Amino acid sequence: MVIGIVILLLIPLNEFVKKSWAYNNNQGVLVFQNDPSSLDIINLGTSHAMFGYAFKPLGLSHLDLALPSQTIEYDLKMLKQYDEHLRPGGIVIVSLSQITFSNAEIGRKENYYQVLDREDIEPVSAFDYYTYASFPALHSGSVYTALSREVRDFRWASHEPWVNKGENYSKRKYEMVEAQYKRAVTNRDIEQNKARLQEIVAYCQSKGYRVVLAMEPVHASYNAYFNEAVMDRLVHQHLATLDLDVPFLNYMADERFVDEQEYFHNPDHLNGKGRALLSSLVYEDLKRLGYL
């Protein structure tokens, strides 16, 4: 009887998790898995890139391999998993953000269970890897993530993304990034991530891909905290030591976006309108570089 009750409770909970954004944020990759095609362009990165690019309306075959809080290490794993579909001379956009060199831990390995081979996800149990597709409710982390996203509509007004013109949100993100950066310095994660970025560029060049670094736009409220001096410390000083011979398209403080809230879902993520504009600008810049 107890087992029967547990099963009855688990079924609707499982359906709830399977319909959640956290469970479905890799759907674009899964759709491509089922119906692969030759690709003109691939982008890597975190959620900033995930919400940043849409090249198909511009006539390019495009695969978005960015996932929330994705590390440089997993950028390379995702690229190696899917680049067999990238045409000779195809383009790889490597997205940089304020956490590029400090981000060393995958928050949700579940994001990769269906899109990477098990041996590329370390460590992960066979039970977790093989049950996630059908029974994600068996994973407490997946249940918690799905629930937390649903209840965010009931959060304090001060935590809404555009309260105080976005300053509250931006300040919280700044404090989180600063704390992560301090841990990264202590753990020497920055040096490891620099080496991994070099590895990505070298891998692309060895395959004949055209690689470009890019940084997506943010709103003025976010840019006020992540200003030029802060970004020099978090990102640019480390990038400079690598001396990578590849173009860098930096739109972070682009005047066409920075004061235009209509282009943003929240202060550091573009919405559909912003994504369309950024993609068109990147498209033109890639043409200028002779990549298209």
The residue whose two tokens read 């200003």 is 227
Is the per-residue pLDDT at 81 higher than 90?
yes
Q: Which of 102, 100, 290 is nearest to 213 (CA)?
A: 100
Is the per-residue pLDDT at 208 higher than 60?
yes
Least confident span in 135-144, 223-232, 235-244: 135-144
Where does the pLDDT of residue 190 fall: very low under 50, low under 70, confident under 90, or very high at 90 and above?
A: very high
Is the per-residue pLDDT at 248 higher than 60?
yes
pLDDT at res. 96: 98
Please provide the DSSP assignment of 35-64 as one string: S---EEEEEE-SHHHHTT---GGGT--EEE
Is the per-residue pLDDT at 111 higher than 70?
yes
pLDDT at res. 123: 86
> 227 or 151: which carries more pLDDT confidence?
227
For residue 285, the surrounding DSSP H or E stretch is helix 272-288
Task: Tell me the domains of the chain and their CATH numbers.
Answer: 2-288 (3.40.50.1110)
Please provide the DSSP assignment of 207-222 as one string: HT-EEEEEE----HHH
Where does the pLDDT of residue 156 fall: very low under 50, low under 70, confident under 90, or very high at 90 and above?
A: low
Where does the pLDDT of residue 150 fall: very low under 50, low under 70, confident under 90, or very high at 90 and above?
A: low
Note the pLDDT tens digit of each residue in 158-188: 568 999 999 999 999 999 999 999 999 999 9
pLDDT at res. 1: 65
pLDDT at res. 141: 80
pLDDT at res. 4: 58
If you average pLDDT over residues 129-157, what whole number do you get? 77
Is the per-residue pLDDT at 203 higher than 60?
yes
Mean pLDDT value across the chain? 93
pLDDT at res. 22: 87
For residue 266, the surrounding DSSP H or E stretch is strand 264-266
Note the pLDDT tens digit of each residue in 2-60: 665 655 667 888 898 999 888 999 999 999 999 999 999 999 999 999 999 999 999 99
> What residue type is assigned to position 212 of the chain?
V
Note the pLDDT tens digit of each residue in 232-242: 999 999 999 99
* Rounded distance between C-alpha atoms, residue 31 and residue 124, angstroms: 24
